[in-house]
Structure formats: structure tokens, C-alpha cells
Structure 1
Amino acid sequence: MASHEAARRATDAGYMNVSVMADGIFGWKNAGQPLEVASTLTPIDKNSAPPSTDKDQ
């Protein structure tokens, strides 16, 4: 429920366009939604990021 708490805090701070992804980042990616990955990821971060596809390039 950490994402729900973060969303609550964001709305409490005045942000209006706040969403919680029920299936997380993997659900977002599996739904074909765009994903940007920082180019400065460490090797550990790269191993935990969802696999990229040609669509992500």
C-alpha cells in the first residue's frame, strides 16, 4: 500500500493528476503504455527494470 500512501500525500500537497497503477510498472508495460528508463541507471537498477522492447527505443 505504499503507492496509495504516496498518492494520498501527493494529492494532499495539491497535485491533481495522481494515479495508482494497480498492477504496478509491469502492468503498465504489459498494457503497452510508454515507458522511459533513465540512462544513468546503475547495473543493479538495470537488472530490476522491466525489459525493454523495440517499441521502447
Structure 2
Amino acid sequence: MLSIVSAVLFFIAFLINAADISTNDTFTSTNIMLIGLAVLALHLAGLGSGWRVRGRRR
């Protein structure tokens, strides 16, 4: 799930950069790309991998 979020953030950053859209200082393409990299790092760390049931094995 987090990988999809990071892909969407990368796409938004690409659109802002390619269309040369003027935004305020908070939502620049570099900041959105860095947020996407942080979300991708969380995905690779295993945070968005889902729930694991730790029951008793027989």
C-alpha cells in the first residue's frame, strides 16, 4: 500500500516539475519527491506489509 502512495507522490512531483506549475514553498516538486522517498523507505522497512497473525502453530 505504501509503495502505491509513493508512486502517486512521485507522479505528482513529476507533473509539478514537468508542467512548471508555480506552487508555494511547501509543495515544491522536491519536497513532494522527498516525502515519496520517505514513504518508499517505510515500505521497504516493512511497515506497510500488512497484518501478521501470530497464533499458535500446530
TM-score (norm 1): 0.33
Higher share in helix: 2
User: Greater Rg, structure 1 or structure 2?
Assistant: 2
